[in-house]
Each structure stands twice: as C-alpha cells, then as structure tokens.
Amino acid sequence: MPSTTRKNSIAISSMFFMLGLCFGSLTSRMATIKGGLALSDGVFGSVLFAMAVGVVLSLPVSGWAIARFGSRVVGTVAILLNAMLLSLIPFATNIPELAILLFISGFSYSAVNVSNNTQASISEAITGKTKLPFFHGLWGLAGFVGAGIGALMMNWDATVFQHFVLISAVALVSSLIWWRFLHHKPEMEKTGKAFAMPDRSLLNYGLIILFSMTCESIMYDWTAVYFQDVVSADQRFVGLGLTVFMGAMTVGRLLLNRFVDRVGIRTTLQWSGVLVLIGMTMTILYPGLVSSVIAFCLVGLGICTVIPLVAGAAAKSSTMAPSAAIASVLTIGFLGTLAGPPLIGFLSETFGLRYAFIVCAMLAIGITYRAGKIPVAPRSLDADLEIDGLSRSERRS
C-alpha cells in the first residue's frame, strides 16, 4: 500500500492535473463556442475578459477562505464547481450567460490554483524537497492532454457538451476519490494574517512573478503571430513556436526539481532570466525559423520555474498565512497577463512586432535583477519549517 506521503503526492498531482485538464479542454473548444454564438472577435475578447476578471478577483478571497477553512476544503469544493461549470458552458445561449459562466469558471479556477499551490508548499515543507515545479508541470501536461482530447472530439464530430461532460465526469470522480488524501494541516495553513500588506520580500516576489507572467502571456497570445509576420514561417509551422515554448515549459517543470534543490531558488531564478534574455535576443536579431524555434525553447525553459518557485517561497512568509501570501504575489503577477498582450499590440503598431518583443528581453532582465535581491539563504528548512513540533533532523531519526 502507498505510504501517507505518497498518497498526499498523488492527491495533489491529481488536483493539478484535473485543473489543467479542465482548462485545456475549455480552451480547445473556444472557437466552437465563439462560432456557436456568432460572436465577433471584439465581442468574444470582451467575454473572455470576464474570465480574467474572475481569476483576479478570486485571488484575495481564496487566500482568506483557505486561511479560514483550509486548502483541502476550498480546493475540493472549487474543483467540483469548476468541473460542473464546464458542462454548463455549452448551454449558454447569449453573451451575458456566457460571460457569467466564464466569470464563475475563472473565479473557481483561481481558488483551485491557490489551494493547489498551498497544498504543494505544505508537501515541500514536510519533505524538505522542491516539488512545486513538478506539480505545475503536471498542470501543463494536462493542458496538452485536454487540447489533444479536444482535437480528437472535433475529429469525431462530438458536440461541445458531449466533450465537456466527459471531462467533467473524470474530474468529479477523481476529486471525490483523492480529496481525503490531501494535506489537512491547520497549524501550517492558519499561521499569519489572512489579510495584510505584503512585506518587502513578498513585493519583490510579486515583481518577479509580474515580469514572468507578462512575458508568458505575451508568448501565449503573440507567438503564432510572430512566427507568421516576423519569422515568415510556412503556414504549416506557424504554430511550432508556441508548441515548442509550451513543451519546454512542461518538460522543464517536470525535470528541474533536483536542479533547484542543488543550486537554490535565487540562482535558479537568475538563470531563468538569463535564458529568457538569450532566447529573446536570438529571435529578435536572427528571426529565422530554426533560430526562433531554439529561441522560444530557451524562453520556455527559462520561464517555467518562476511561478512555482516564487509561489513556494511566498508560502514561507512570516507575516501572512501561506495561502494569502501566495494569493498576494499571484495578484500582482496577473496584472501582467492583463497588460502584456495589449502593450505588445500598441508597440507593434508603432515600431513593428519584431522590435515590440524587446519588451520580453527587458522583462527577463527584470527577473534576473529582482532575483538577485533574494537573500542567498533567508531561512533554512531545519530552523524554520518545523512540522508538528519536530525539526527535520528529528524527523529523520
């Protein structure tokens, strides 16, 4: 039989995977949903903004709820809600209905996200090992699986409802099976304030995530356009840059845990910024197909660890509850997802898309610089992360 720690890891992995599966499935059928309601690009963009608003507004509320009720309860309720909403979205018959459903979907998604990160940070504290990048890698892998299932369903002419109800059922069953194996550690989740102004270290972490998420959102929204207009890739390869970027992010997150444990968070984040800078400089100076594919791979490898590492570091805050600290830095970061893509559009109109991507190079420099502000060893696990009254060395014995 698996040990309790093993069951905890499987349960957390399941939560990350189910969240990614639901998200990937939804995004894979967005074009079908848009066409079904005959929405213009502008109107559909406004509807999608409702989902982004739900994500951002949920963050502080989720942090408070987790500090009060625990991440196991909040995460389980939120993933069940997110899964059920997925099967309801195909029934939206007008713009307000779709906007409301996407807003609630974004709200519940964010609650699961904060809960998952809190669970993973507890697992890191108990084991003394870096785990968040791996769990985030599972989310990325699930996104690929969800998109693949979406393509398969469209090939089989399955309706959006048939597709979504299948994914919802899988997520519901998985959540009901594994929820009781999630960590229940009130003594770790309810320490510190649920609402407080982030201290200097949290603000620094928030800036690092802001730079990272701005760059990441630009990659998601503009990579295909960049390969089409700047790289001038054949139509068959227009989507290659985004695929390579997302693949590098997923693989990096799944494999870099040991590297992080060996060199530390500060050095890893500094190297993250350097890799993004090298990749961006390469594709701006030499926007050929091969060089740009290599460049976007480097950007993916560079950006992949930032969010999980910073979320894990924020959870160790001495001034805020872990969930509230995670929510606070993610709130700062999500501002970048709102500002980044339109900023590139404005700069592209003025200077051209190729030179607009210099913004990503500047963001990479920001990641490296702010990472240098992280103390080399702010706290040791042996000294600070005492679990159930036992130090790490005592637990070994």
Assess if residue 65 is contained within a domain: yes
Q: State whether residue 28 is helix, strand or coil.
A: helix
Q: Which of 147, 179, 211 is the endpoint of a domain?
A: 179
Do 118 and 228 belong to one domain?
no
Do 330 and 360 belong to one domain?
yes
H or E element at residue 120: helix 95-127
Q: State whether residue 83 is helix, strand or coil.
A: helix
Assess if residue 185 is contained within a domain: no
Assess if residue 187 is contained within a domain: no
Assess if residue 393 is contained within a domain: no
Where do we find the tokens 């990350």? 16
- What is d(CA 213, CA 7) in angstroms, rounded to the nearest whole number? 31
pLDDT score for 388: 40
Report residue 385: phi and psi, to 5°.
-95, 70
Do 162 and 271 belong to one domain?
no
Assess if residue 238 is contained within a domain: yes
* Structural domains counted in the chain: 2
Do 306 and 343 belong to one domain?
yes
Do 78 and 22 belong to one domain?
yes
Q: Report the CATH number at residue 355.
A: 1.20.1250.20
User: Amino acid letter at 355?
Assistant: Y
Assess if residue 64 is contained within a domain: yes
Domain that holds residue 313: 200-377
- What is d(CA 264, CA 268) in angstroms, rounded to the nearest whole number? 6
Do 220 and 255 belong to one domain?
yes
Do 107 and 231 belong to one domain?
no
Where do we find the tokens 């500002």? 339
Residues of the chain with pLDDT under 70: 1-4, 41, 190-198, 377-397
Which tokens belong to 63? 């942090």
Do 209 and 168 belong to one domain?
no
pLDDT score for 395: 40
Do 62 and 109 belong to one domain?
yes
Q: Of all residues in the chain, what percent are helix, strand and coil, respectively (each to 5)?
A: 80, 0, 20
Q: How many CA atoms lie within 13 A of 391 on its CB side?
A: 7
Where do we find the tokens 């090298």? 278
Assess if residue 188 is contained within a domain: no
Do 135 and 218 belong to one domain?
no
Q: What is the pTM of this model?
A: 0.80
Do 48 and 152 belong to one domain?
yes
253: left (phi over 0), alpha (psi -120 to 50) or beta: alpha
Q: How far apart are the first and last CA of the chain?
A: 23
Do 273 and 345 belong to one domain?
yes
Q: State whether residue 320 is helix, strand or coil.
A: strand
- What is d(CA 343, CA 358) in angstroms, rounded to the nearest whole number? 12
Angle between helices 322-351 and 306-314 (to 10 degrees): 150
Please, which contacts does 238-242 make with residues 24 or more away whose CB atoms are closer than 8 Å? 240/289, 240/293, 241/292, 241/293, 241/296, 242/296
pLDDT score for 384: 41
Assess if residue 193 is contained within a domain: no
